[in-house]
């Protein structure tokens, strides 16, 4: 598991992957993206990620994490085709089960288990 405490750290991680300074085996299988991060927030990260690293962004499963009560954030996440789902913090088992089912649907027939 790779952790980044803000969007800039996450972008630097993908930059290291691209330049071969980080083993490609460390490429995440999915991204849990917090909307409210310092320095570069979740939405800004997502736009930079897609522009700077299309080879990694294409097909990358992304879930938005949010403790936001802002209905605009929820609406934006639901309309954005890059986002598989919105998981509200604090997590509960029901949300984790929803995420697992979405990932299972994505990986059907690929020999991958979640």
List the domains of the chain with CATH numbers. 7-107 (3.40.50.2300)
Q: Taking a C-beta distance cutoff of 8 angstroms, is the pair 72, 65 a contact?
A: no
> Is-above-0.75 flag for pTM?
yes
Parallel, antiparallel or unpaired: strands 62-66 and 31-34: parallel
Cα–Cα–Cα angle for 5, 65, 29, nearest 5°?
Answer: 75
Give tens-digit pLDDT for 52-96. 999 999 989 898 887 766 788 888 888 988 898 887 777 666 767
Q: Taking a C-beta distance cutoff of 8 angstroms, is the pair 99, 87 a contact?
A: yes
Q: At what angle do helices 7-18 and 42-52 cross, to 10 degrees?
A: 20
Q: Report which secondary-structure segment, H or E, holds 31.
A: strand 31-34
Residue of 46 and 111 predicted with greater confidence? 46
């Amino acid at each position: 598991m790779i952790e980044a405490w803000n969007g800039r750290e996450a972008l630097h991680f993908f930059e290291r992957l691209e330049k071969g300074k980080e083993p490609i085996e460390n490429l995440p299988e999915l991204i849990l993206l917090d909307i409210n991060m310092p320095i570069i927030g979740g939405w800004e990260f997502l736009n930079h990620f897609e522009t700077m690293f299309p080879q990694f962004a294409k097909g990358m499963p992304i879930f938005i994490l949010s403790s936001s009560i802002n209905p605009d954030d929820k609406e934006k996440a639901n309309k954005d085709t890059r986002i598989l789902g919105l998981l509200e913090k604090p997590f509960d088992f029901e949300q984790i089960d929803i995420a697992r089912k979405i990932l299972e649907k994505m990986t059907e027939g690929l020999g991958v288990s979640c």
